[in-house]
Each structure stands twice: as structure tokens, then as C-alpha cells.
Amino acid sequence: MRVAVVLSSAVWFMAAAAVAELPRLEHSGDGSLAVLVVGDWGRKGAYNQTQVATQMGVTAEAVKIDFVISTGDNFYDDGLTGVDDPNFYHSFADIYTAPSLQKQWYNVLGNHDYRGNVEAQLSTTLQEKDPRWLCIRSFILDTKLAEFFFVDTTPFSDKYFTDPEDHVYDWSGLLPDRATYLSNLLADLDSALRSSKARWKIVVGHHTIKSAGHHGNTVELEAQLLPILEAHDVDLYVNGHDHCLEHISSSRTKLSFSPVGQGRKRGKVTLAHGIPRR
Ligand SMILES: [Zn+2]
């Protein structure tokens, strides 16, 4: 049964991480939840972004969403140039204007975002421009019904480092170095998932783990992230990157995969992910 509840306001706050280094946020609710998930969208309204945004507003109104999740590739082609980049308005604030979409957005970064000024998207200055905006590399969002674990997947992919083609990536925040950054992230995620008592554990990232789409599986995430998700009974991995809508399940594990990288370009799409009660 899917139950949708509209909160009068999105209430969240930063709190000291109880068991891990990952920032922990809370989104209050009454034990039911409806979430809209979108990825791969910031095209200044082009490539059908505006049409998808309009339908998102219709869907969000129908199911009374609590908040929106973005799986990254928030601004094409090369992220934001800085906190004053007008693309923030042209691709986000002035696009998702439906009253039903005036909810908190919880965002992670995609590979295209790493081609711009990463710190700009992470900056609280953008929250001052539009209070819906919240982007953190990796964090935990705790609701009464489900716990969401947002994971920064772009730094896992070797090709961005070994074969960046003509792109320039902003790796300045991967401190002290990439290997340590990734090992710390995996250790923190492992710890947080192990201690989670949530009825539903949902992991959100940009890149695919499993996908039948153009990009296919991400081998680095299959090797490093997937074992942690399976070990801790994660219910769902939600991602973007592949511009299609999929739901992949297996008889071997309860974990299923749901790429939703459909925030623009192609036409017919359903983006709402209702979370049934157990
Ligand atoms: Zn991508």
C-alpha cells in the first residue's frame, strides 16, 4: 500500500553522526512517505526538461510527495561555473516551478557536475538563492519509514582519472587523496548501514551498479559498493547516469536496482517511487 503525506514544511537538520562520519539529516514525517526521484536533468529547459518538469509537478501533486531526490548530473554539460552561475536559475529554480515541487530537494553529484565547480553546488549560498536546494557529496537522510544513504559515486570510476578525454574534472575535494577518500567513504557507509534499524534501507548514487542501459554496469561499484549493500540488506539502489527508467531485481538477493536518469531528453516517463509499507 502506498501512502502519501504532505508535510507542512520540510524539516531537517544537521546532527552529529552517531555511528559514522557521514553527515546525518532528518526529514520529519508521520511514518509514511512519497518521494519523487529524478536524475540527469539540467538543460536550461531544453531536451524536454521543461515537459518532464511539468509532468513531475502533476505527479507530485497526485501522490503528495514529501521531497525530491536528484541522482546527479544536475547541470549540463559542465556543472556550475560558480555560485553565481545563472544556470542555477535557468536549469533548476525557474524550471521546477509547480507548487507541488516546492519541497526540499536532496541532491548528489554526477560526473557532469564534477566538470564544473563542485564547491559551488555544495555551497549554502545556493540555499539562500533557493531554499529547496541541498547538495552534499555523501550523507544520510533519516525519515521515520526509511533511511536513505547518498553516495558520491563519480570518484569510483577509473576512466575519469585515466582517460578524461578533453574534460577537466574538479577533484579538489577528494582529500587527502582519492584512495583514502573512497576507503573512508566505504567504511563510513558500511558502519552506517550495519547500525541502521530502518525498515527500509535505500542507497542513492549517480552511477549504475546494474543497468541494461547505454552505460551498463559500473564495474568499480559492482566490486566495491555492491558487496556492502548486499551484506546489510539494502532494499533498493536508485541511480541516474543511464538515461532510461529501469527496475532490476534478482532471485538471489532482495536488493533491486532502479535507474531513473530521465530528467530530460526522452519523452514518456514515470518518476514517482512510492514506498509501500511492510
Ligand atoms: Zn552521468
pLDDT digits (tens, 9 = 90+) for 107-160: 999 999 999 999 999 999 999 999 999 999 999 999 989 999 999 999 999 999
Note if 215 is an active site residue: yes
Q: Kindly list the protein residues that place their beta carbon closer than 5 angstroms to ligand 1, a single-atom ion.
A: 73, 110-111, 241
- Position 144 scores a pLDDT of 83
pTM reported for the whole predicted model = 0.88
Listed as ranges, residues in the chain with pLDDT below 70 are 1-20, 262, 264-278
> How far is the CA of 103 from the CAs of 38, 51, 133, 190, in angstroms?
14, 19, 9, 29
Residue 32's nearest CA partner among 141, 144, 142 is 144
Q: For residue 265, what pLDDT is reported?
A: 55
The correct CATH number of 14-274 out of 3.40.1280.10, 3.60.21.10, 3.40.50.150, 3.65.10.10 is: 3.60.21.10
Q: Which of 215, 232, 247, 273 is catalytic?
A: 215
Task: Give residue 222 CA to ligand 1 midpoint distance, Å.
Answer: 17
How confident is the model at residue 31, as a pLDDT?
73
| CA–CA dist 25, 49 (Å, integer) | 29
What is the Å distance from ligand 1's center to 207 Cα? 6
Tell whether residue 163 is among the known ligand binding residues. Answer: no
User: What pLDDT is attached to residue 243?
Assistant: 87
Flag whether 207 is marked binding.
Answer: no
Provide the pLDDT for residue 72.
97
**pLDDT confidence of residue 254:** 86
pLDDT in tens, 55-75: 999 999 999 999 999 999 999
Q: Is 89 annotated as a binding residue?
A: no
